[in-house]
Amino acid sequence: MGVPFVKGHGTENDFVLIPDPDGRLVITDAQVRALCDRRAGIGADGVIVVRPAASGGYFMDYRNADGSLAEMCGNGARVFARYLVDLGWERAGSFPFLTRGGVRTAELGPGGDVSIDMGPVRVGPAEKAELQGEVFAGTAVDVGNPHLVCLLDDESRLAALDLTRAPAFDAESFPHGVNVEFVVPVGPDHVRMRVFERGSGETRSCGTGTVAAAAAFLRATGGSGSRVTVDVPGGTVVVTFGDQGATLTGPAVLVASGQIDQAFWIAAGQP
Ligand SMILES: N[C@@H](CCC[C@H](N)C(=O)O)C(=O)O
């Protein structure tokens, strides 16, 4: 028997989910990289192991495509919540779950969009990113995981960015790396974004990145609004801000389920 999996995505930020109801599955960085490989594996931006949490409920054990751990994944959290409800492990409505960044709450019906309480968002100091020899002014934003949001003024500049390579950043400011978002306003409470994710490269969407982008945009424009629509290459999400922090709302799609071949799994785990 192989290892069961489900493939899903949120605005085309895609994940391999692996249920681990006993909390015993050991998964190596190399196995994550093999699964995420778009030619030799299933293909994904990250892997989510669905484990029981010691405190009750479930733990979203998220890993980037290169095997590195991340504190939080907003799109992954929506897919994780949809998976728990479809499996009958949680009931539709509202329920808490655990991430490395702390406890979050999901809210969803039997179908449709999923909302995740993303916790507090901290807009930090001015920073810089460098790409193709060009320096972009940006802002550090902490959404549980680190972000560097660079606001641009022109959609054609956003489209022209070459994100096949990682933008450079100040390693002293971001000792654990950073997700870099490039953002263009397209309306009073509406932005468009591309992202280079730490540990995964350019992705079609990044949920925590959309929250960081919305927060940096509101700070920069002095916007009094509390709701920002964020277009990403893979779709659209909505970020709202309240007293307790941000909420991210968007689609979560389960695409396929199957078994990871045992021989593939064992070979991927070899040093
Ligand atoms: N795609 C995710 C973010 C995943 C983690 C990120 N790459 C990091 O290392 O912090 C999202 O939807 O938030």
Q: 209 CA distance to ligand 1 centroid (A)?
A: 7
Q: Which of 88, 132, 142, 86 is nearest to 111 (CA)?
A: 86
Domains of the chain and CATH, by start: 3-117+252-269 (3.10.310.10), 122-243 (3.10.310.10)
Q: How far is CA 143 from the centre of its chain?
A: 11
Q: Which ipTM did the prediction report?
A: 0.97
Is 179 annotated as ligand-binding?
yes
Q: Is 229 annotated as a binding residue?
A: no
pTM above 0.90, yes or no: yes
- What token pair was written down for 214? 């919305």
Task: Compute, in angstroms, the gap from residue 257 CA to the centroid of ligand 1.
Answer: 23
* Distance (Å) of CA 85 to CA 28, 90, 99, 107, 116: 27, 5, 17, 10, 14
CB 76 less than 6 A from any atom of ligand 1: yes
The residues annotated with a catalytic role in the active site are 73, 206
Q: Please, which residues have CB within 8 angstroms of residue 227's CB and are 6 or more apart in sequence?
A: 189, 238, 239, 240, 241
Q: How far apart, in whole angstroms, are the C-alpha atoms of residue 210 and residue 181?
A: 8
Ligand 1 contact, 145 CB (< 6 A): yes
Angle between helices 29-36 and 262-269 (to 10 degrees): 130
One digit per residue, pLDDT tens: the chain, 271 residues? 789 999 999 999 999 999 999 999 999 999 999 999 999 999 999 999 999 999 999 999 999 999 999 999 999 999 999 999 999 999 999 999 999 999 999 999 888 999 999 999 999 999 999 999 999 999 999 999 999 999 999 999 999 999 999 999 999 999 999 999 999 999 999 999 999 999 999 999 999 999 999 999 999 998 777 999 999 999 999 999 998 899 999 999 999 999 999 999 999 988 7
| Contact by Cβ (8 Å): 250, 78 | yes
The reply to whether ligand 1 has any atom less than 6 angstroms from the CB of 139 is no
Query: Which are the contacts of 258, defined by CB distance < 8 A and separation ≥ 6?
Result: 4, 5
* Ligand 1 near 199 CB (within 6 A): yes
